[in-house]
Structure 1
Protein backbone atom coordinates (compact mmCIF):
# COMPACT_ATOMS: atom_id res chain seq x y z
CA UNK A 1 0.00 0.00 0.00
CA UNK A 2 1.44 3.35 -1.07
CA UNK A 3 1.18 6.60 0.88
CA UNK A 4 0.13 9.40 -1.47
CA UNK A 5 -0.10 13.12 -0.80
CA UNK A 6 -2.40 15.33 -2.89
CA UNK A 7 -0.87 18.80 -3.12
CA UNK A 8 -3.35 21.26 -4.59
CA UNK A 9 -2.41 24.86 -5.29
CA UNK A 10 -2.66 27.60 -7.89
CA UNK A 11 1.05 27.23 -8.76
CA UNK A 12 0.79 30.69 -10.32
CA UNK A 13 3.73 30.26 -10.82
CA UNK A 14 5.28 27.27 -9.07
CA UNK A 15 8.15 28.32 -6.79
CA UNK A 16 11.12 26.71 -5.11
CA UNK A 17 9.17 26.96 -1.85
CA UNK A 18 6.45 24.74 -3.31
CA UNK A 19 9.09 22.17 -4.18
CA UNK A 20 10.88 22.43 -0.85
CA UNK A 21 7.54 22.08 0.97
CA UNK A 22 6.63 18.97 -1.04
CA UNK A 23 10.04 17.43 -0.40
CA UNK A 24 9.83 18.16 3.33
CA UNK A 25 6.32 16.72 3.59
CA UNK A 26 7.30 13.60 1.65
CA UNK A 27 10.27 13.01 3.94
CA UNK A 28 8.56 13.76 7.26
CA UNK A 29 5.35 11.90 6.46
CA UNK A 30 7.07 9.02 4.65
CA UNK A 31 5.08 9.51 1.46
CA UNK A 32 5.79 7.45 -1.62
CA UNK A 33 4.29 9.96 -4.05
CA UNK A 34 3.16 13.57 -4.07
CA UNK A 35 0.59 14.52 -6.69
CA UNK A 36 0.85 18.16 -7.75
CA UNK A 37 -2.70 19.27 -8.52
CA UNK A 38 -2.91 22.70 -10.19
CA UNK A 39 -6.31 24.28 -9.68
CA UNK A 40 -8.51 25.32 -12.56
CA UNK A 41 -9.03 28.79 -14.01
CA UNK A 42 -12.74 28.01 -13.76
CA UNK A 43 -12.74 28.08 -9.94
CA UNK A 44 -14.81 30.95 -8.57
CA UNK A 45 -12.69 31.42 -5.44
CA UNK A 46 -9.43 31.96 -7.31
CA UNK A 47 -8.14 34.76 -9.48
CA UNK A 48 -5.43 33.26 -11.65
CA UNK A 49 -3.07 35.29 -13.79
CA UNK A 50 -2.07 32.95 -16.62
CA UNK A 51 -3.69 30.04 -18.41
CA UNK A 52 -4.08 26.51 -17.11
CA UNK A 53 -1.78 25.34 -19.90
CA UNK A 54 1.11 27.60 -18.87
CA UNK A 55 0.82 26.69 -15.18
CA UNK A 56 0.62 22.99 -15.98
CA UNK A 57 3.65 23.20 -18.27
CA UNK A 58 5.73 24.87 -15.58
CA UNK A 59 4.77 22.34 -12.90
CA UNK A 60 5.79 19.53 -15.26
CA UNK A 61 9.16 21.21 -15.82
CA UNK A 62 9.69 21.80 -12.12
CA UNK A 63 9.05 18.23 -10.96
CA UNK A 64 10.41 16.17 -13.85
CA UNK A 65 13.67 15.26 -12.05
CA UNK A 66 12.05 13.93 -8.87
CA UNK A 67 10.63 10.39 -9.16
CA UNK A 68 8.39 10.97 -6.10
CA UNK A 69 6.62 13.89 -7.75
CA UNK A 70 3.88 13.61 -10.34
CA UNK A 71 1.26 15.92 -11.83
CA UNK A 72 -2.46 15.43 -12.39
CA UNK A 73 -4.71 17.91 -14.20
CA UNK A 74 -7.97 16.46 -12.84
CA UNK A 75 -9.42 19.78 -11.62
CA UNK A 76 -8.49 21.58 -14.81
CA UNK A 77 -10.69 19.18 -16.76
CA UNK A 78 -13.80 19.59 -14.56
CA UNK A 79 -16.79 21.86 -15.00
CA UNK A 80 -16.67 24.74 -12.53
CA UNK A 81 -19.63 23.49 -10.50
CA UNK A 82 -17.95 20.11 -9.95
CA UNK A 83 -14.75 21.49 -8.45
CA UNK A 84 -14.36 21.11 -4.70
CA UNK A 85 -11.81 19.31 -2.56
CA UNK A 86 -14.20 16.62 -1.36
CA UNK A 87 -15.09 15.61 -4.94
CA UNK A 88 -11.41 15.70 -5.89
CA UNK A 89 -10.42 13.44 -3.00
CA UNK A 90 -13.23 11.01 -3.85
CA UNK A 91 -11.82 10.83 -7.37
CA UNK A 92 -8.31 10.03 -6.16
CA UNK A 93 -9.64 7.58 -3.62
CA UNK A 94 -11.35 5.66 -6.43
CA UNK A 95 -8.19 5.91 -8.52
CA UNK A 96 -6.06 4.47 -5.67
CA UNK A 97 -8.44 2.19 -3.73
CA UNK A 98 -5.67 0.27 -1.98
CA UNK A 99 -3.48 3.23 -1.04
CA UNK A 100 -3.48 5.71 1.84
CA UNK A 101 -4.28 9.26 0.74
CA UNK A 102 -3.52 12.57 2.43
CA UNK A 103 -4.59 16.07 1.45
CA UNK A 104 -1.69 18.50 1.92
CA UNK A 105 -2.57 22.02 3.01
CA UNK A 106 -1.52 25.00 5.11
CA UNK A 107 -2.91 25.74 8.57
CA UNK A 108 -4.83 28.72 7.16
CA UNK A 109 -6.98 26.31 5.17
CA UNK A 110 -7.50 24.15 8.26
CA UNK A 111 -9.08 27.21 9.88
CA UNK A 112 -11.45 27.65 6.93
CA UNK A 113 -12.50 23.99 6.96
CA UNK A 114 -13.04 24.12 10.71
CA UNK A 115 -15.34 27.10 10.25
CA UNK A 116 -17.34 25.21 7.61
CA UNK A 117 -16.34 27.54 4.78
CA UNK A 118 -15.54 24.70 2.35
CA UNK A 119 -18.14 22.69 0.46
CA UNK A 120 -18.76 19.37 2.22
CA UNK A 121 -16.37 20.30 5.07
CA UNK A 122 -17.71 17.66 7.43
CA UNK A 123 -17.68 14.87 4.84
CA UNK A 124 -14.16 15.83 3.83
CA UNK A 125 -12.84 15.62 7.40
CA UNK A 126 -14.75 12.46 8.26
CA UNK A 127 -13.53 10.49 5.22
CA UNK A 128 -9.97 11.66 4.56
CA UNK A 129 -6.63 12.38 6.22
CA UNK A 130 -4.64 15.59 6.14
CA UNK A 131 -1.07 16.79 6.35
CA UNK A 132 -1.19 20.33 7.71
CA UNK A 133 1.76 22.71 7.45
CA UNK A 134 2.25 25.39 10.09
CA UNK A 135 1.55 29.02 9.26
CA UNK A 136 2.75 31.97 11.33
CA UNK A 137 0.19 33.03 13.90
CA UNK A 138 -1.99 29.92 13.68
CA UNK A 139 -2.12 27.43 16.56
CA UNK A 140 -3.04 24.20 14.79
CA UNK A 141 -3.97 22.23 17.93
CA UNK A 142 -6.15 25.09 19.15
CA UNK A 143 -7.78 25.34 15.73
CA UNK A 144 -8.75 21.67 15.88
CA UNK A 145 -9.94 21.93 19.48
CA UNK A 146 -12.16 24.96 18.83
CA UNK A 147 -13.94 23.45 15.82
CA UNK A 148 -16.67 20.86 16.24
CA UNK A 149 -16.13 19.71 12.66
CA UNK A 150 -12.43 19.07 13.23
CA UNK A 151 -12.28 17.72 16.78
CA UNK A 152 -15.22 15.35 16.44
CA UNK A 153 -13.65 13.62 13.46
CA UNK A 154 -10.09 13.53 14.80
CA UNK A 155 -9.26 9.95 15.76
CA UNK A 156 -5.60 10.74 16.35
CA UNK A 157 -4.55 10.02 12.77
CA UNK A 158 -6.75 12.40 10.78
CA UNK A 159 -4.36 15.34 11.05
CA UNK A 160 -0.59 15.08 10.70
CA UNK A 161 0.69 18.49 11.81
CA UNK A 162 4.04 19.64 10.46
CA UNK A 163 6.14 22.60 11.52
CA UNK A 164 8.69 22.86 8.72
CA UNK A 165 11.15 24.53 11.09
CA UNK A 166 12.01 27.31 8.67
CA UNK A 167 9.84 30.25 7.70
CA UNK A 168 9.97 30.72 3.93
CA UNK A 169 7.61 33.50 2.95
CA UNK A 170 8.49 33.87 -0.72
CA UNK A 171 5.16 33.49 -2.49
CA UNK A 172 3.88 33.27 -6.03
CA UNK A 173 2.38 36.74 -5.59
CA UNK A 174 5.80 38.16 -4.69
CA UNK A 175 7.28 36.64 -7.85
CA UNK A 176 4.41 37.99 -9.97
CA UNK A 177 4.96 41.47 -8.51
CA UNK A 178 8.69 41.30 -9.26
CA UNK A 179 8.06 40.27 -12.85
CA UNK A 180 5.39 42.91 -13.35
CA UNK A 181 7.64 45.66 -11.99
CA UNK A 182 10.72 44.57 -13.92
CA UNK A 183 12.38 42.89 -10.92
CA UNK A 184 14.58 39.80 -10.93
CA UNK A 185 13.07 36.75 -9.16
CA UNK A 186 15.11 34.20 -11.10
CA UNK A 187 16.43 32.16 -8.18
CA UNK A 188 13.07 31.94 -6.40
CA UNK A 189 11.77 29.40 -8.90
CA UNK A 190 13.16 26.55 -11.01
CA UNK A 191 15.41 27.90 -13.74
CA UNK A 192 13.41 26.18 -16.49
CA UNK A 193 10.26 27.91 -15.28
CA UNK A 194 11.97 31.29 -15.13
CA UNK A 195 13.10 30.96 -18.75
CA UNK A 196 9.64 29.71 -19.77
CA UNK A 197 8.07 32.83 -18.23
CA UNK A 198 10.52 35.06 -20.07
CA UNK A 199 10.01 33.24 -23.36
CA UNK A 200 6.23 33.55 -23.19
CA UNK A 201 6.28 37.04 -21.65
CA UNK A 202 4.08 36.00 -18.72
CA UNK A 203 3.11 38.17 -15.73
CA UNK A 204 4.02 41.42 -17.49
CA UNK A 205 2.08 44.63 -16.85
Structure 2
Protein backbone atom coordinates (compact mmCIF):
# COMPACT_ATOMS: atom_id res chain seq x y z
CA UNK A 1 0.00 0.00 0.00
CA UNK A 2 1.33 3.40 -0.99
CA UNK A 3 0.55 6.91 0.22
CA UNK A 4 -0.52 9.53 -2.30
CA UNK A 5 -1.17 13.24 -1.80
CA UNK A 6 -3.50 15.24 -4.06
CA UNK A 7 -2.30 18.84 -4.24
CA UNK A 8 -4.83 21.15 -5.88
CA UNK A 9 -4.26 24.79 -6.73
CA UNK A 10 -4.59 27.31 -9.54
CA UNK A 11 -0.83 27.14 -10.23
CA UNK A 12 -1.15 30.46 -12.05
CA UNK A 13 1.83 30.25 -12.24
CA UNK A 14 3.45 27.37 -10.34
CA UNK A 15 6.05 28.77 -7.92
CA UNK A 16 9.08 27.48 -6.08
CA UNK A 17 6.98 27.67 -2.89
CA UNK A 18 4.49 25.20 -4.40
CA UNK A 19 7.35 22.81 -5.12
CA UNK A 20 9.00 23.31 -1.73
CA UNK A 21 5.67 22.79 0.02
CA UNK A 22 4.97 19.57 -1.88
CA UNK A 23 8.47 18.29 -1.13
CA UNK A 24 8.15 19.13 2.57
CA UNK A 25 4.74 17.47 2.81
CA UNK A 26 5.96 14.37 0.98
CA UNK A 27 8.91 13.98 3.32
CA UNK A 28 7.09 14.64 6.59
CA UNK A 29 4.05 12.54 5.67
CA UNK A 30 6.04 9.75 3.99
CA UNK A 31 4.17 10.13 0.72
CA UNK A 32 5.19 8.03 -2.25
CA UNK A 33 3.68 10.45 -4.73
CA UNK A 34 2.28 13.98 -4.91
CA UNK A 35 -0.22 14.60 -7.69
CA UNK A 36 -0.43 18.25 -8.75
CA UNK A 37 -4.01 19.02 -9.70
CA UNK A 38 -4.53 22.36 -11.48
CA UNK A 39 -8.03 23.71 -11.02
CA UNK A 40 -10.43 24.14 -13.89
CA UNK A 41 -10.84 27.51 -15.59
CA UNK A 42 -14.58 26.71 -15.67
CA UNK A 43 -14.96 27.15 -11.92
CA UNK A 44 -17.12 30.13 -11.00
CA UNK A 45 -15.08 30.91 -7.88
CA UNK A 46 -11.79 31.23 -9.76
CA UNK A 47 -10.50 34.05 -11.95
CA UNK A 48 -7.46 32.75 -13.80
CA UNK A 49 -4.94 34.92 -15.57
CA UNK A 50 -3.71 32.65 -18.34
CA UNK A 51 -4.92 29.65 -20.33
CA UNK A 52 -5.09 26.04 -19.22
CA UNK A 53 -2.52 25.22 -21.91
CA UNK A 54 0.03 27.64 -20.46
CA UNK A 55 -0.55 26.43 -16.88
CA UNK A 56 -0.15 22.80 -17.94
CA UNK A 57 3.00 23.57 -19.92
CA UNK A 58 4.60 25.34 -16.95
CA UNK A 59 3.63 22.58 -14.52
CA UNK A 60 5.06 19.94 -16.85
CA UNK A 61 8.38 21.77 -16.90
CA UNK A 62 8.38 22.37 -13.15
CA UNK A 63 7.71 18.74 -12.21
CA UNK A 64 9.88 16.90 -14.71
CA UNK A 65 12.93 16.53 -12.46
CA UNK A 66 11.17 14.97 -9.44
CA UNK A 67 10.06 11.36 -9.74
CA UNK A 68 7.63 11.79 -6.81
CA UNK A 69 5.72 14.59 -8.54
CA UNK A 70 3.00 13.94 -11.13
CA UNK A 71 0.60 16.18 -13.04
CA UNK A 72 -3.07 15.32 -13.53
CA UNK A 73 -5.53 17.49 -15.47
CA UNK A 74 -8.63 15.64 -14.20
CA UNK A 75 -10.47 18.75 -12.94
CA UNK A 76 -9.72 20.67 -16.12
CA UNK A 77 -11.71 18.08 -18.07
CA UNK A 78 -14.82 18.23 -15.88
CA UNK A 79 -17.95 20.24 -16.52
CA UNK A 80 -18.27 23.23 -14.21
CA UNK A 81 -21.29 21.82 -12.35
CA UNK A 82 -19.31 18.73 -11.32
CA UNK A 83 -16.12 20.34 -10.01
CA UNK A 84 -16.21 19.72 -6.27
CA UNK A 85 -13.39 18.37 -4.13
CA UNK A 86 -15.63 15.56 -2.89
CA UNK A 87 -16.11 14.24 -6.44
CA UNK A 88 -12.43 14.72 -7.21
CA UNK A 89 -11.37 12.64 -4.22
CA UNK A 90 -13.91 9.96 -5.13
CA UNK A 91 -12.19 9.77 -8.52
CA UNK A 92 -8.69 9.41 -7.09
CA UNK A 93 -9.69 6.90 -4.43
CA UNK A 94 -11.21 4.78 -7.19
CA UNK A 95 -8.07 5.20 -9.28
CA UNK A 96 -5.81 4.08 -6.42
CA UNK A 97 -7.94 1.56 -4.47
CA UNK A 98 -4.94 -0.11 -2.81
CA UNK A 99 -3.38 3.13 -1.58
CA UNK A 100 -4.01 5.75 1.09
CA UNK A 101 -5.03 8.95 -0.66
CA UNK A 102 -4.77 12.31 1.12
CA UNK A 103 -6.05 15.73 0.14
CA UNK A 104 -3.37 18.38 0.73
CA UNK A 105 -4.63 21.83 1.64
CA UNK A 106 -3.81 24.94 3.62
CA UNK A 107 -5.32 25.73 7.00
CA UNK A 108 -7.29 28.56 5.36
CA UNK A 109 -9.30 25.98 3.41
CA UNK A 110 -9.86 23.92 6.55
CA UNK A 111 -11.24 27.08 8.13
CA UNK A 112 -13.58 27.57 5.16
CA UNK A 113 -14.91 24.02 5.61
CA UNK A 114 -15.46 24.69 9.31
CA UNK A 115 -17.45 27.79 8.40
CA UNK A 116 -19.71 25.81 6.07
CA UNK A 117 -18.43 27.28 2.82
CA UNK A 118 -17.81 23.98 0.97
CA UNK A 119 -20.32 21.86 -0.90
CA UNK A 120 -20.55 18.20 0.16
CA UNK A 121 -18.46 18.97 3.24
CA UNK A 122 -19.93 16.15 5.34
CA UNK A 123 -19.25 13.57 2.62
CA UNK A 124 -15.79 14.96 1.95
CA UNK A 125 -14.66 14.91 5.59
CA UNK A 126 -16.21 11.55 6.46
CA UNK A 127 -14.67 9.71 3.50
CA UNK A 128 -11.18 11.17 3.22
CA UNK A 129 -7.93 11.92 4.99
CA UNK A 130 -6.21 15.30 4.92
CA UNK A 131 -2.78 16.85 5.19
CA UNK A 132 -3.21 20.40 6.49
CA UNK A 133 -0.46 22.98 6.05
CA UNK A 134 -0.17 25.82 8.55
CA UNK A 135 -1.09 29.33 7.52
CA UNK A 136 -0.13 32.47 9.41
CA UNK A 137 -2.75 33.50 11.92
CA UNK A 138 -4.80 30.29 11.83
CA UNK A 139 -4.90 27.93 14.82
CA UNK A 140 -5.49 24.52 13.21
CA UNK A 141 -6.36 22.70 16.44
CA UNK A 142 -8.81 25.42 17.44
CA UNK A 143 -10.38 25.31 13.98
CA UNK A 144 -10.99 21.57 14.30
CA UNK A 145 -12.24 21.67 17.89
CA UNK A 146 -14.55 24.60 17.11
CA UNK A 147 -16.37 22.77 14.32
CA UNK A 148 -18.79 19.93 15.06
CA UNK A 149 -18.18 18.49 11.60
CA UNK A 150 -14.40 18.43 11.94
CA UNK A 151 -14.08 17.37 15.58
CA UNK A 152 -16.60 14.55 15.20
CA UNK A 153 -14.41 13.00 12.50
CA UNK A 154 -11.08 13.69 14.24
CA UNK A 155 -10.09 10.12 15.03
CA UNK A 156 -6.35 10.77 15.22
CA UNK A 157 -5.69 9.82 11.61
CA UNK A 158 -8.13 12.04 9.71
CA UNK A 159 -6.08 15.26 9.87
CA UNK A 160 -2.28 15.33 9.61
CA UNK A 161 -1.28 18.85 10.66
CA UNK A 162 1.99 20.25 9.33
CA UNK A 163 3.66 23.39 10.57
CA UNK A 164 6.24 23.91 7.86
CA UNK A 165 8.54 25.70 10.30
CA UNK A 166 9.40 28.46 7.85
CA UNK A 167 7.12 31.20 6.57
CA UNK A 168 7.27 31.03 2.78
CA UNK A 169 4.17 32.80 1.61
CA UNK A 170 5.31 34.20 -1.76
CA UNK A 171 2.18 33.76 -3.85
CA UNK A 172 1.35 33.39 -7.52
CA UNK A 173 -0.43 36.74 -7.20
CA UNK A 174 2.80 38.43 -6.11
CA UNK A 175 4.67 36.91 -9.05
CA UNK A 176 2.00 37.97 -11.54
CA UNK A 177 2.11 41.50 -10.15
CA UNK A 178 5.89 41.59 -10.49
CA UNK A 179 5.69 40.55 -14.13
CA UNK A 180 2.93 43.05 -14.91
CA UNK A 181 4.79 45.93 -13.24
CA UNK A 182 8.14 45.15 -14.85
CA UNK A 183 9.63 43.61 -11.71
CA UNK A 184 12.06 40.71 -11.51
CA UNK A 185 10.59 37.57 -9.91
CA UNK A 186 13.08 35.24 -11.60
CA UNK A 187 14.16 33.29 -8.52
CA UNK A 188 10.63 32.80 -7.18
CA UNK A 189 9.67 30.20 -9.78
CA UNK A 190 11.46 27.48 -11.78
CA UNK A 191 13.90 28.82 -14.37
CA UNK A 192 12.13 27.10 -17.25
CA UNK A 193 8.80 28.59 -16.21
CA UNK A 194 10.33 32.05 -15.89
CA UNK A 195 11.74 31.77 -19.41
CA UNK A 196 8.44 30.42 -20.74
CA UNK A 197 6.51 33.36 -19.26
CA UNK A 198 8.93 35.88 -20.75
CA UNK A 199 8.87 34.21 -24.16
CA UNK A 200 5.07 34.08 -24.32
CA UNK A 201 4.43 37.46 -22.72
CA UNK A 202 2.22 35.95 -20.01
CA UNK A 203 1.13 38.22 -17.12
CA UNK A 204 2.94 41.17 -18.73
CA UNK A 205 1.23 44.37 -19.72
SS of equivalent to 2:45: coil
SS of equivalent to 2:34: strand
CA–CA separation in structure 2 for the residues paired with 1:168 and 1:150? 27
Q: Cα distance, 1:115 vs. partner?
A: 1.5
List per-residue Cα deviations over 1:135-192 (Å, max 9, x = no partner). Answer: 0100000000000110011111000000000001211000000000000100000000
Backbone CA RMSD of aligned residues: 0.5
Q: Cα distance, 1:10 vs. partner?
A: 0.2
List per-residue Cα deviations over 1:114-140 (Å, max 9, x = no partner). Answer: 112111011100000000000010000
User: Where does residue 43 of structure 2 map in the other structure?
Assistant: 43
Name the TM-score, length of structure 2 as normaliser: 0.99
Name the TM-score, length of structure 1 as normaliser: 0.99
CA–CA separation in structure 2 for the residues paired with 1:199 and 1:149? 48
User: Where does residue 194 of structure 1 map in the other structure?
Assistant: 194
SS of equivalent to 2:119: coil
User: Where does residue 137 of structure 2 map in the other structure?
Assistant: 137
Q: Is the 8 A contact 1:37 1:74 kept in 2?
A: yes
Q: Cα distance, 1:204 vs. partner?
A: 1.4
User: Where does residue 128 of structure 1 map in the other structure?
Assistant: 128
1:108 counterpart = 2:99: no
User: Where does residue 91 of structure 1 map in the other structure?
Assistant: 91
CA–CA separation in structure 1 for the residues paired with 2:98 and 2:119? 26
SS of equivalent to 1:70: strand
CA–CA separation in structure 2 for the residues paired with 1:32 and 1:67? 10
1:172 counterpart = 2:172: yes
CA–CA separation in structure 1 for the residues paired with 2:76 and 2:200? 21
Q: Cα distance, 1:65 vs. partner?
A: 0.4
Question: 5+ unaligned residues in a row in structure 2: which ranges?
Answer: none
CA–CA separation in structure 1 for the residues paired with 2:155 and 2:120? 19
Number of residue pairs the alignment of both structures matches: 205
